[in-house]
Amino acid sequence: MLASENRQRFIDDRRSHLPNVNEILEALEKTYGPQQATGPTDAYEMIVYLNCGYPASDAWCSKGFDVLKREVGLSPRELLAAPRAKLAKLLRLGGILPDQRAERLQEIARRVKGDYGGDLQAALTGCMQEEKQQPGRGVRAAKKILREFPVIGEPSAEKILLFSKLAPVAAVPSAFVEVPTRLWVGKPGKNYAADYRAARDTLSAGLAETLEARQRAYLLLKKHGQQTCKRSEPKCEICPLTGQCAYIQLQAADRHVV
């Protein structure tokens, strides 16, 4: 059997026999312990936070966000009143491209003040009222609003809905999409968006539709990506999921091609 045929048969079989999501999460929590979210949990402040650091990471975003909150304030009125040069100077603590990030923050503030009366959370809550009447409609409307803002794509929009407690969507950590892909399928595809949606669908099917269950899954997968299942050099030798991970099993299958 050719290696490519062996690999594809394994992947196809894996897709039809996915391991239990909750068992995987239990193993991860046993290894890393319960996880806590970093950063704000208000939708508007989460957008500001994600624009406060670059390259985007909890460390860079937290540094930029904290100094901005302390020295200027976070409200649309405060951000618009601040000189852009001052914002850029403060945002240097959050990494590179501070001028661009300062411009984006004032764009965010201007949009929230002008389009949503200064209260983005209320606008998104209104979308969720539509969700009660027609499932899926409110979430789509809320994601459309969120994606109007700088650096907010579908993964970030879903994270905001989940952690601002607006909707229990099965968000996947955007920087660690390869983690659930390796766990359940073994091999990332060529399209990030397709991999993201596949991972989200797997989590959605396997998890209780509650904020708590889906926040827990997000945080544990993120921790696993940070600590063990790294993008370029996964530490498979210390992985707590050796017997369940499709990526590890696929490597083994490749080594035993007949």
Could you report the per-residue pLDDT of 191-222, keeping only the tens digit for each?
A: 999 999 999 999 999 999 999 999 999 999 99
Q: How far apart are CA 117 and CA 131, in angstroms?
A: 22
For residue range 22-62, list pLDDT tens digits in order.
999 999 999 999 999 999 999 999 999 999 999 989 999 99
- The reply to whether 109 and 27 lie within a common domain is no
Q: Please check whether residues 81 and 150 belong to one and the same domain.
A: yes
The residue type of 136 is G
> Domains in the chain: how many in total?
2
Q: What is the pLDDT of residue 135?
A: 83
Of 135, 163, 191, the residue at which a domain comes to its end is: 163
Residues 62 and 121 in one domain: yes
What whole-number distance in Å separates Cα of residue 232 and Cα of residue 27? 23
Same domain for 114 and 77: yes
Predicted TM-score (pTM) of the model is 0.89
Do residues 183 and 224 both lie within one domain? yes
State the CATH number of the domain containing residue 125. Answer: 1.10.340.30
Q: Which of 163, 180, 197 is at the close of a domain?
A: 163
For residue 179, the enclosing domain spans: 3-36+172-255
- Angstrom distance (rounded) from CA 187 to CA 11: 8
Could you read off the pLDDT of 226-253 as tens digits, one per residue?
Answer: 999 998 889 999 999 988 888 888 877 6
151 and 104 fall within a common domain: yes
On whether both 60 and 128 belong to a single domain, the answer is yes
Distance between CA 252 and CA 16 in Å, rounded?
Answer: 19
- Judgement on whether residues 234 and 215 belong to the same structural domain of the protein: yes
Eight-class DSSP state of 94: G
- The answer to whether residues 6 and 127 touch, using CB atoms and an 8 Å cutoff, is no
